[in-house]
Amino acid sequence: MNAEDFMTAEMTVLSRFLEGKPNRDLETTQLVSCELLRSVGMDSINCGINTLQNDSLALPVAEVQYALSAWFEINKREMPWRITRNPYHIWLSEIILQQTRVEQGIPYFMRLTTRFPTVESLSDADLDEVLQLWEGLGYYSRARNLHKAAKMIVEKWSGLIPSALDDLLSIPGVGPYTAAAISSIAFGHPHAVLDGNVIRVLSRIFAFPEDVALSSSKQTLHKMASALLDVRRPGDHNESMMELGALVCTPKPDCPICPVRSFCKGFETGTPTQFPVKRAKKKTPHYHIAVGVIRDEEGRIFIQKRSLDSMLGGLWEFPGGKNESTESYQQTCRREILEETGMSVDVGPLIASIPHAYSHFKITLHAYDCELTSSTIPSTALSWEWAVNEQLQEYAFPKANRLLINMLTQQESGTTEGNND
């Protein structure tokens, strides 16, 4: 950005601060007092400029707001949902960005808004289609809740996203953060957001000493976020806080370019990376899963659909399950297929072992070629299909299963090419 662009951005921000009388006294003399910080439990902690042993002023709210706003005007990333205040787009983007990076989420946002341009079109869609469009994004309960929520919004609010916080909180898949984000960004309501990025920024600004995973800590941090909120532009303010955490105040912060470093107690200590304080993580469990690729006499492959109330509910999969420590993977494959489908198989050679990580555990999927030794009609309450390899692209599968399908496709392609030589 050249000097002229910088000055233009600066003047844009300054003019906003000078527009009319604000809803509350947010002139540069307004400060977060130590009395406020005492009220949220920080009664013996150094904060901002002075300590809490007296009633000295701690943090200049309007200066922080101005610094954030000026920085955000210049540095904010381009995102398709930022060019609109369409509540449907804001809601959809916030659901996608739960547990998903922006750069990964953008193609899914474009895909979903192209196929479902309105809440009504999403409500009318078949869940299988929604899950297939969501495939690869993970956390599939988000997609199921998105579909369920669309139906609720159509039935209860005639397809219009509600603006009231309590109404938003009643929507499936919408928690306190998402409700505050939609309410502030789409409707301009003064609700502060508290996500991982904001927690990191606030923890460093105030050198917050408590474990941020505790519910009491989150309540305190939310009060701090609310105290800093610019009620005239709550959406932009919330986005600036989140953007600062995403781009500058990262786990390894770039303090020299931070617009609020002069107000930051964590920076002042010289060890900002010690904040936020977090309890030691437990060791991530690792499970071994054995599944069977079962073909009938026509070469079709057996797949089944997971129940909606299970993890990865509504997705299709190859039959199988978790390995018990007393058995081999082949024994696991045979046992699980019999238990799940009622079909008996001979377990053949290993096709592949595929590692995959979820949020709280890891798996290795061991896939085996299996030959039926019983009827091709399974006895299971789950939905099931016999599908040729090409048809598998039409179903939504979990990531590890999809990787297996890609391997099977490559193997089949290689075999076909070999037969053509």
- List active site positions: 94
Q: What is the DSSP letter of 239?
A: H
The tokens describing 320, both together, are: 């199988």
d(C-alpha 71, C-alpha 259), whole Å: 7
Residue 16 corresponds to which amino acid? R
The radius of gyration computed from the CA coordinates of the chain, to the nearest angstrom, equals 27
Q: Are 140 and 314 in contact (CB under 8 A)?
A: yes
First to last CA, the chain: 58
Q: H or E element: which one contains 33?
A: strand 31-33
Residue 417 corresponds to which amino acid? E
Q: Are 333 and 290 in contact (CB under 8 A)?
A: yes
| Contact partners, residue 368, CB within 8 Å, separation at least 6 | 290, 291, 292, 293, 329, 330, 333, 347, 348, 349, 350, 351
| Contact partners, residue 128, CB within 8 Å, separation at least 6 | 314, 395, 396
The tokens describing 390, both together, are: 């090409």
d(C-alpha 401, C-alpha 140), whole Å: 14
| Contact partners, residue 235, CB within 8 Å, separation at least 6 | 184, 185, 186, 188
Q: Could you tell me how far CA 188 lies from the centroid of its own chain?
A: 23
The tokens describing 47, both together, are: 């904060």
SS3 279: coil
Q: Are 345 and 370 in contact (CB under 8 A)?
A: yes
